Structure 1
Amino acid sequence: MNKTDVLCLALGGDGLDVVMHVLQQQGWQVSHVSGASAALAELGMRRHGVGLMRVGDTTEATLHAMEQCVQACPGMEWVALCDEAFLESAPFRDLILESFFDYQLMPLDWNETLHLLDHLARRARLRQQRRAAVVQGEALGMVGNSPPMQQLRQTIRKVATAQACVLIGGESGTGKELAARAVHECSQRRAGPFVAVNCAAIAPSLIQSELFGYERGAFTGATTLKRGVIEMAQGGTLFLDEIGDLPLDLQANLLRFLQNKTINRVGGVSHLEVDVRVIAASHVDLGDAVARGRFREDLFYRLNVLTLTMPPLRKRMEDVAPLAEHFFRLCANERSARLQGFSVHALAAMADYTWPGNVRELCNRVLRAVVMSDSRWITPADLGLAQTLPVTRTDLDAARTRAERDAIHHTLLRVGHNVTHAARELGVSRMTLYRLMDKHGLAPMTREEMNGIQAAVP
C-alpha cells in the first residue's frame, strides 16, 4: 500500500469527481468505485489504508451499505463525506461515531481535509508496519518475536530436518501441539498426515485400541476392523500429547513400536510395519516421573532424542499484545462492527498479569471479551482482569500518555465539558477528542453532546 493511496467510494451524492481531481493534484494516488458491491470487490482484492465515502442519503439501505464496506476492511481508516443535514439522523450519527474515523461536510474545507488525510496516511503506514511485523511473527504458525520465540523457531527448523523422536516440554497452554505441527510442516513428511492424540483424554481401557487399532472380533462390540492412530499416521507424524499419563503397560507396547517400527492390532497375530515419526509432549517433568517410577526409563530415553521447551507466556510478555491482537482478528465473526480493539487500560492490565494459563488462557479471555464487550474498546473488566495504570516501555512514553490525559481532562473542566470548545482549544476535531476521551477513560458523551454533533466542525 502506497502511503498516499486513497479509495474514493461513491454511495450517492455529488462532488466526488471534484474531490478526486483535487487529491490527484495534491499528489495522492486515487482509486474510485461506485456502489457497495464494487467496493466490496475492490476491498477483497486490494488493501487500502484510507477511504473517503461520499454518502448521498441516510436511508436504511445506505447505512447498511456503509457498514458493510467498513466491516470488509477492519484496519482501514474511513472518512464520511456528507451534507450537514445528514447529521440530523440519529442512526447516521451513531454509525459515524462507532465505525468511522471522522466525517467532513460538503463542500470540503480543503485545509482541514488535507490535514486530516495526511494524519490518516501516517496511521495507515503504522498499520502496514504492524501487519508486516505480525506476518513475520506468525512464521510457523506461532505469534511473537520475543527472543524465546525466535530461538524456538530456529530450533524447530533444525529439529524438522531429522527423523528422530522429539520430546516437547512446557506448561499447559503454551502451545505444544502448535510446535509439533510446525515440526511436521517443516519436515519432509509435510505431505503426510499429522495425527494428534491426547493420552490424558482417553480412558485407560481404550488407549491400546486407540493407539494400535483392533481386528474384527477382538472383543465384544468389535464388529469391524479399526485402524489405530499409529497406523493412521503412516508416512506422517504422530503427536502424543500428555504422554506422561500413559499407563505403564501401554508404555511397554509403545516402546516396542518405537524400537521395531511394527505394531500389532488388538486381537491380531501379524506384525504391521509402519513409517511414522513420533513427537511426544508432557506438561510434567518426565525425568522426575522416571525417578518416581511413574514412567519407563527406557521409553524416556527413546523419546528424549531431540527436545523442544515451550516458554511460558510470563517469560515472553512482549508477545502478549501481538497475541491478543491475533486472537482478536480470529474472532472477526464473533464481534460487532463497532468493537475496534483493546483500550490502553486493557493492554496495561494484560501486561501486568502473570498468565498462569499461558496462551490458552489469553485466547479464552480475548474471546470472552469480544462476545461480552458493549463498548468500542475492550476494557480490563471485559477480560476479567483488574485495571492497572498503563505500563509502557519507557518513562518518556508514560509521561506523554499522562500529559495527554491531563491536558484533555483540565480542558474539559475549564470549558464545562463542552466538547466543541475543548476540541477547539486542543486543536483537534471533535471526533478525535471523543476517541481520546474513550482511550483515557474520561467521562463519556452526554445526550446533549450527542445532539451537539449537528454543529459544524470548528
Structure 2
Amino acid sequence: MRRTRCDMHRAMQNETFTPAVLVVDDDPDIARLVGNYLKRVGFEAEWASDPLVALEAAKRRTFHLLVMDYQLSGQTGLEVAQQLQRVQGQRVPVVVMTAHTSVETAVAALRAGAADFVTKPFELSLLQMIVKRVLDHHQTSQELERLRTEIRRTNETHGLLGEHASMTALRRLIDRLGPADGAVLVMGESGTGKELVARALHAAGKRAKGPMVAINCGAIPSTLLESELFGHVRGAFTGASDDRLGVFREADGGTLFLDEVGELTPALQTALLRVLQERTVRPVGANREVKVDVRVVAATNRDLQAGVDDGTFRQDLLFRLDVLRLDIPPLRERGDDVLLLFRHLLPLTCARHGKTIQAIAPEVTELLLRHTWPGNVRELQNVVERAVLACDGQRLEAWHLPQSVASPPAPKGGIKEGWPLVTLAELERRHIGHVLAAVGGSKQRAADMLGIDRVTLYRKLKK
C-alpha cells in the first residue's frame, strides 16, 4: 500500500530515510542500467520502460525523485512525470535524460518543470551527483516550507501550540478575553508559559499597539521592587541620580504583566491595590500622583486563595486581580502534545546549532511520553537543547536525552507488571541504550559496563 505524505513524514522521523527513485526510459537497457546503478550507490530504485508500468509502480509506493527520458513513445517524459505526480498526490522533483544537446532543449525542460537534466551519453557518477544535489535541494525546500508553516501556525495560535482539548479551549478563551479590558489572573505551574499567555492576551486585545511590559515580582528584592514598579524621582534615595518611570508608567496605554505576584510583600500588596483602585501611581520620593492607563495581567504558580486563608495575601487584592482567569494545563496532562512540541522545537534548535537530525528512534518517543515533565515546556526546551548538542549523527537516540528522561524510575510490581514483552535482540538494544544514557553517552564507559569491547558495541549499535 502506498504511503501518504504524512506517513512519509513519520517514517523520516522514526527510521533511517533512504530516498526512492523511479527511472523511466523507453530503452529497457538504459532504464535497467541506471536503476541498478542507483541501487548500488545507496538509493531505493525501480525502473520501467513503459509509462503504464511506471504509473502502476507509482500507485504502489511513494517516490522522491523521477529520472525521465526526455522523449518517450508518443509523449514527453515531463508529461508522464506530471501523470506520476498526480498519482503520488504531491510534487516530485524530476531529472531529465536527453539525447538532444541543444540549449533550447535544456531550457525547454527546465521551463516545463525539470529540476535538472543530463545529456546522453553520460557518466553514471555524474547522474549520481545530480540526483543527490536535486534531492538535497528538494529536502531543503520542503524543510523551509515546513518552517514557514510552523511560523504561520505559531502566529495563528499566539505561539501556544498544542492539539489537546485543554489547549484549544485556552486559545478560544484568550480570543474571548483579549478584547476585554479587565485584569486577568493567569494560573499555572512553573514553565507552562504564563508570560506567553499574557503576550497572547495583549496581542488579541484593544491595546495591541501599545507597549507590553513584563516584570518578575519574585526575582527583584523587595527593597528595590517598589521603585521598579512605581518609579522614583531624582534624589529619592541614595543612588537615585535620575528620574525613573517604573513599569506601570512604561506600560501606559498597553499591558503590564506581573509575574509571580504571589511573592509580593504585604506593603507592596497594599500599594498595588491602591494603583488598581485609583489608576494612579506615586513614584518613590514624589509629592503627587500620576495617572496611568494600564491593563494588568498577573500570574502565579501559588494558590492565592490559600494565601488569603493563611493571611499572607490580601483578599481585596485577589478580588482586584481575579476579574478574569486563565488556567494553563501542565504538560503531563496534555497527552501527545509533548511530541508535537518536541518536533516543533527540534528543527529550530538544530538550525541554531548548525546540525541536521532526520530521524528519531522509537524509544525516544516512548521516553518522552513516559516522562512526567515537572518543569513543563521550559524543561522540554532544555531537553531538546541538550539532546541536539549530544547527538553526533542524523538520528536521535535514547542515550542523547538527559538522564532524567532517558532513565526513568523502574516500574513497580516486578517482572509481571513492568517487564517488556519484546524480542531478545530488542531487549539487548534497549539495555545498551539504557547503559549509554546512564554513562552520559560515553561509548567506552558503556562498553566497560557491558563487559564488551568498543568494536562489539559499535557493531551492535549499527544493527
The interval holding the TM-score normalised by the smaller chain is 0.5 to 0.7
Q: Distance in 1 between matches of 2:337 and 2:117?
A: 35
Assess, with a 3 A threshold, how the Cα gap between structure 1 residues 232 and 80 changes in structure 2: closer, same or farther: farther
Q: Distance in 2 between matches of 1:283 and 1:264?
A: 29
CA RMSD of superposed structures (Å): 4.2
Q: How many residues matched?
A: 322
Contact 1:345/1:387 (CA < 8 Å) preserved in 2?
no
Q: Which residue identity lines up with residue 273 of structure 2 in the other structure?
A: L
The residue number in structure 1 matching 2:376 is 358
Assess, with a 3 A threshold, how the Cα gap between structure 1 residues 443 and 138 changes in structure 2: closer, same or farther: farther
Q: Distance in 1 between matches of 2:217 and 2:116?
A: 54
Contact 2:68/2:78 (CA < 8 Å) preserved in 1?
no
1:280 to 281, 298, 304: 298
Contact 1:172/1:283 (CA < 8 Å) preserved in 2?
yes
1:382 to 373, 394, 400: 400
1:26 to 73, 81, 87: 81
Contact 2:81/2:94 (CA < 8 Å) preserved in 1?
no
Is 1:369 the counterpart of 2:421? The answer is no
The residue number in structure 1 matching 2:31 is none
Q: Distance in 1 between matches of 2:117 and 2:268?
A: 66
Larger mean CA deviation between 321-330 and 139-148 belongs to 321-330
Contact 2:383/2:401 (CA < 8 Å) preserved in 1?
yes
Q: Distance in 1 between matches of 2:297 and 2:343?
A: 30
Q: What CA deviation, in whole Å up to 9, does each residue of 1:7-48 have, x standing for no partner?
A: xxxxxxxx9883995133332599xxxxxxxxxxxxxxxxx9
Contact 2:261/2:299 (CA < 8 Å) preserved in 1?
yes
The residue number in structure 1 matching 2:314 is 296
Unpaired stretches in structure 2, ≥5 consecutive residues: 6-66, 98-114, 409-421, 430-457
The residue number in structure 1 matching 2:344 is 326
Contact 1:346/1:387 (CA < 8 Å) preserved in 2?
no
Which residues of 2 match residues 64-103 of structure 1 at below 5 A? 83-85=123-125
Contact 1:138/1:144 (CA < 8 Å) preserved in 2?
no
Distance apart, 1:332 and its partner CA: 4.0
Distance apart, 1:354 and its partner CA: 0.9
Distance apart, 1:295 and its partner CA: 1.0
The residue number in structure 1 matching 2:50 is none
Q: What CA deviation, in whole Å up to 9, does each residue of 1:370-422 have, x standing for no partner?
A: 1221121222222212279xxxxxxxxxxxxx99x99xx9xxxxxxxxxxxxx
Please give the secondary structure, in 2, of the residue aligned with 1:180.
helix
Please give the secondary structure, in 2, of the residue aligned with 1:224.
coil
The residue number in structure 1 matching 2:200 is 182
Please give the secondary structure, in 1, of the residue aligned with 2:276.
helix
Contact 1:215/1:265 (CA < 8 Å) preserved in 2?
yes
Contact 2:68/2:81 (CA < 8 Å) preserved in 1?
no
Q: Distance in 2 between matches of 1:229 and 1:242?
A: 15
Aligned identity (percent) is: 38
Q: Distance in 2 between matches of 1:26 and 1:87?
A: 18
**TM-score (normalizing by structure 2):** 0.61
Q: What CA deviation, in whole Å up to 9, does each residue of 1:422-454 have, x standing for no partner?
A: xxxxxxxxxxxxxxxxxxx995559xxxxxxxx
The residue number in structure 1 matching 2:227 is 209
Q: Distance in 2 between matches of 1:169 and 1:269?
A: 36
Distance apart, 1:231 and its partner CA: 0.4
Distance apart, 1:342 and its partner CA: 2.7
Assess, with a 3 A threshold, how the Cα gap between structure 1 residues 22 and 187 changes in structure 2: closer, same or farther: same
Q: Which residue identity lines up with residue 296 of structure 2 in the other structure?
A: V
